[in-house]
Amino acid sequence: MKQFSAKIASFGAFMALAAVISSVLSFIGYNLRVLMWVDMWGETMGWVVRGGVLVAGGLLYFVFSKLSDSPEEA
């Protein structure tokens, strides 16, 4: 279970980092290829999606990193 939790925590960290990078790049007119679809429905919806990905990634990271650090019960 610890390996699974660690992988999910890593995926959450990737999601949060991708959202932050996408937000920064959006200010200078660029975007990550994997997140180009977020602006399909307009700029406001793009920011909503970026914020959602950031929050979801952060939650996955913090919750599953705590689970992978906790001692396993027999």
Which residues contact residue 72 at a Cβ distance below 8 angstroms, ignoring those fewer than 6 apart?
A: 1, 2
In a domain, 24, yes or no: yes
- How far is it between the farthest Cα atoms of the chain? 53
- Give the domain range for residue 63: 2-69
In a domain, 74, yes or no: no
pTM attached to this predicted model:
0.82
Q: How many domains does the chain have?
A: 1
Residue 57 reports pLDDT greater than 50: yes
Residue 10: pLDDT band (50, 70, 90) is: very high
